[in-house]
């Protein structure tokens, strides 16, 4: 009987200790939850775009490209300033649709970085992947030069960055806010959803062209001008 | 408040725990014995000290989880030009989550130190229980299992050329806990664990 009583007390000690520890754990978790508002890393509107570092061709040669360097973490919709937005295109140099849209993308890159554009500057970057057929840095260089693009082409032939960004087809476009939050993703089931940085909710973009598809330029014009535009 | 001032709170809890476990703890334990009589014995001081070490490890882990969340919001919490920089590690998506389960390291630390704390409190409440050596071995095993994890995190620090002082404090707490569990196990095997029983037997 004494033995049973003894064992019973042991169980009580474990139970008491468990109550103390579980309480402590949840108090800690609640303090963290109430004092922070974490943002997931991903490519859906409202998520933080995955950062990357890779080699990029900028017209003069291959140099290290750090996506993080383009970001302005202190940006807020109320103080648009001259912080640039970032348009990211994932392309394959062997993809027909990428070739077809290359001229438009080149024009948009010029248009949204020029002083004619009243909105904030948009920096374009292309991430070259290898989905369709064998590709190479020489092909990337040739593709960029043939369309007279002036923006950087990032080498992602090992599709490492594409994997992080959830890109399964090309061309895919993303518009990233200056603080690194994805504002628009062309690869969503409905690509007309943009991110409102003020209300922190998604909203529907207007389809100007009536083709039931939001192009990158439509997303840029609606999203970058949403907060009163910016300065060049 | 400066992040290092906050870090010193966590470090102070761990340091007090270490002091309690050392010979210095005998004089400190004298002050505590009125409120917590168990601290009048060496075993009691060791267990109380280990509880504080685990608590400090838990609070600093919770703090790194908070930092992880704040960094995802785009806020800087512990950056600087020196080698001591948490932002570059806790804010680096390549390193800031546990492989396979994809959860922040801070959360793993909170869970680990809670488990250790549960073991220590259970042993402290029932030091003469049959399961005590099993619990002490489990604690020792758990802290030893933490060593490869610490090794992995230190390798990230070496790779980035940065040191995260908050993470390092949690690592130190785990190592102190490991040594303490080892000492407690040795103590259990000796007469020091329950000298009162030894006297009774006489």
Mapping DSSP onto H, E and C, the string for A146-172 reads: HCCCCCEEEEECCCHHHHHCCCCCCCE
Which of B54, B108, B125, B160 is the best residue to mutate to test the A interface, defined by the most A CB atoms within 10 Å of its own CB? B125
Neighbours of A212 (CB within 10 A): 9
- Cβ atoms of residues B19 and B65 within 8 Å: no
Q: What pLDDT sits at residue A232? A: 43
Residue B199 has pLDDT above 80, yes or no: no
Rounded Cα gap, residues A201 and A46, in angstroms: 7
Rounded Cα gap, residues B174 and B113, in angstroms: 8
Rounded Cα gap, residues B87 and B91, in angstroms: 5
The dihedral region occupied by A159, where left means phi > 0, alpha psi between -120 and 50, and beta the remainder, is left
Rounded Cα gap, residues A148 and A89, in angstroms: 16
- Cβ atoms of residues B7 and B60 within 8 Å: yes
**Span between the terminal Cα atoms of chain A, in Å:** 85
Contact B62 A73 (CB under 8 A): no
Buried b (16+ CB within 10 A) or exposed e, A30-49: eebeeebebbebbbebbbbb
Cα angle at A183 between A75 and A164, to 5 degrees? Answer: 105
C-alpha B106, offset from chain centre: 13
Q: Does B117 touch chain A (CB under 8 A)?
A: yes
pLDDT in tens, B56-98: 999 999 999 999 998 888 777 777 767 888 888 888 878 888 9
Residues of chain B found within 8 Å of residue A40, distances taken between Cβ atoms: 72
Residues of chain A found within 8 Å of residue B117, distances taken between Cβ atoms: 17, 20-21, 24
> Could you give the 3-state DSSP secondary structure of residue A102?
helix
Where would I find the H helices in A95-215?
Answer: 96-111, 137-146, 160-164
C-alpha A38, offset from chain centre: 16
Residue B180 has pLDDT above 80, yes or no: yes
**Residue-wise pLDDT tens for chain A (232 aa)?**
455 555 556 678 888 899 999 999 999 999 999 998 888 888 999 999 998 899 999 888 999 999 988 988 888 887 756 789 999 999 999 889 999 999 999 999 999 987 778 888 999 999 999 887 788 889 999 999 999 999 999 999 999 999 999 998 889 999 999 989 999 999 877 778 899 988 888 998 888 777 778 889 999 989 988 876 554 4
Q: What pLDDT sits at residue B102? A: 86
Rounded Cα gap, residues B166 and B169, in angstroms: 5
Neighbours of B190 (CB within 10 A): 11
Do β-strands A62-66 and A201-204 pair in parallel, antiparallel, or remain unpaired? unpaired
Q: Tokens 């060791």 correspond to what residue?
A: B46
Please tell me the pTM assigned to this model: 0.76
Instruction: Indicate the residue of B65, B74, B118 with minimum beta-carbon distance to A21.
Output: B118
Rounded Cα gap, residues B114 and B51, in angstroms: 10
Residues of chain B found within 8 Å of residue A34, distances taken between Cβ atoms: none
Rounded Cα gap, residues A126 and B51, in angstroms: 54
Which of residues 34 through 53 in chain B touch A, CB cutoff 8 A?
none
Residues of chain B found within 8 Å of residue A50, distances taken between Cβ atoms: 93
Contact A29 B110 (CB under 8 A): yes
H/E stretch holding B30: helix B25-32
Omega prior to B187 cis, within 30 of 0: no
Q: Does B126 touch chain A (CB under 8 A)?
A: yes
Residues of chain A found within 8 Å of residue B74, distances taken between Cβ atoms: 39, 48, 73-74, 179-181
Instruction: Indicate the residue of B65, B76, B122 with minimum beta-carbon distance to A17.
Output: B122
Instruction: Indicate the residue of B68, B125, B130 with minimum beta-carbon distance to A17.
Output: B125
- Closest residue, chain A, to B51 (C-alpha): A21
Do β-strands A122-129 and A152-156 pair in parallel, antiparallel, or remain unpaired? parallel
Rounded Cα gap, residues B134 and B121, in angstroms: 14
Q: How far is A105 from chain B (nearest CA, A)?
A: 29
Residues of chain B found within 8 Å of residue A179, distances taken between Cβ atoms: 74
- Closest residue, chain B, to A9 (C-alpha): B126
C-alpha A146, offset from chain centre: 27
Q: What pLDDT sits at residue A231? A: 46
Which pair of structure tokens corresponds to residue A6? 């003894």
Neighbours of B52 (CB within 10 A): 23
Q: Is A201 exposed, middle or buried (0-12, 13-18, 19+ CB in 10 A)?
A: exposed
Residues of chain B found within 8 Å of residue A48, distances taken between Cβ atoms: 72, 74
Q: Does A27 touch chain B (CB under 8 A)?
A: no
Contact A180 B74 (CB under 8 A): yes
Q: How far is B151 from chain A (nearest CA, A)?
A: 25
Rounded Cα gap, residues B121 and B47, in angstroms: 8
Q: Does B93 touch chain A (CB under 8 A)?
A: yes
Which pair of structure tokens corresponds to residue A200? 């922190």
Q: How far is B112 from chain A (nearest CA, A)?
A: 11
CA dihedral A131, A136, A138, A144 (to 10 degrees): 20
Q: Does B9 touch chain A (CB under 8 A)?
A: no
Q: Does B62 touch chain A (CB under 8 A)?
A: yes
Which pair of structure tokens corresponds to residue B34? 């009125």
Rounded Cα gap, residues A18 and A12, in angstroms: 10
Contact A18 B118 (CB under 8 A): yes
Q: What pLDDT sits at residue A108? A: 93
Where would I find the H helices in B73-131?
Answer: 87-90, 105-125
Rounded Cα gap, residues A229 and A118, in angstroms: 7
- Provide, rounded to the nearest whole percent, the portion of chain B with pLDDT above 70: 95
């Amino acid at each position: 009987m004494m033995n049973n009583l003894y064992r019973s007390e042991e169980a009580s000690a474990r139970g008491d200790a468990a109550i103390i520890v579980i309480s402590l754990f949840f108090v800690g978790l609640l303090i963290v939850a109430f004092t922070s508002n974490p943002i997931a890393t991903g490519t859906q509107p409202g998520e933080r775009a995955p950062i990357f570092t890779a080699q990029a061709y900028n017209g003069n040669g291959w140099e290290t490209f750090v996506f993080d360097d383009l970001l302005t973490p202190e940006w807020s919709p109320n103080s648009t300033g001259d912080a640039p937005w970032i348009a990211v295109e994932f392309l394959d140099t062997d993809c027909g649709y990428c070739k077809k849209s290359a001229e438009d993308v080149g024009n948009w890159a010029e248009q949204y970085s020029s002083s004619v554009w009243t909105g904030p500057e948009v920096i374009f970057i292309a991430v070259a992947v290898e989905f369709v057929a064998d590709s190479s840095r020489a092909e990337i260089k040739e593709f960029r030069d043939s369309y007279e693009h002036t923006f950087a082409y990032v080498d992602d032939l090992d599709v490492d960055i594409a994997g992080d960004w959830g890109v399964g087809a090309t061309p895919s476009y993303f518009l990233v806010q200056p603080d690194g939050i994805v504002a628009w993703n062309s690869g969503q089931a409905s690509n007309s959803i943009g991110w409102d940085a003020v209300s922190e909710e998604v909203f529907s973009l207007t389809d100007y062209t009536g083709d039931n598809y939001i192009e990158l330029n439509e997303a840029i014009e609606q999203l970058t001008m949403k907060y009163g535009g910016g300065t060049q | 408040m400066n992040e290092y001032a906050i870090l010193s709170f966590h470090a102070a809890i761990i340091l007090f725990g270490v002091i309690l476990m050392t010979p210095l703890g005998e004089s400190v334990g004298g002050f505590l014995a009125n409120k917590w009589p168990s601290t009048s014995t060496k075993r009691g001081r060791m267990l109380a000290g280990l509880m504080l070490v685990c608590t400090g490890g838990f609070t600093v882990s919770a703090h790194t989880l908070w930092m992880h969340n704040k960094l995802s919001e785009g806020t800087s919490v512990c950056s600087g030009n020196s080698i001591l920089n948490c932002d570059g590690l806790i804010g680096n998506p390549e390193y800031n989550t546990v492989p396979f389960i994809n959860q922040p390291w801070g959360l793993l630390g909170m869970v680990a130190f809670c488990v250790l704390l549960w073991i220590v409190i259970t042993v402290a409440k029932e030091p003469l229980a049959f399961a005590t050596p099993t619990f002490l071995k489990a604690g020792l095993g758990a802290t030893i299992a933490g060593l490869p994890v610490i090794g992995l995190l230190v390798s990230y620090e070496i790779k980035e050329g940065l040191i995260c002082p908050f993470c390092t404090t949690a690592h130190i707490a785990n190592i102190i806990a490991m040594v303490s569990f080892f000492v407690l196990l040795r103590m259990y095997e000796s007469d020091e664990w329950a000298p009162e029983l030894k006297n009774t037997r006489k």
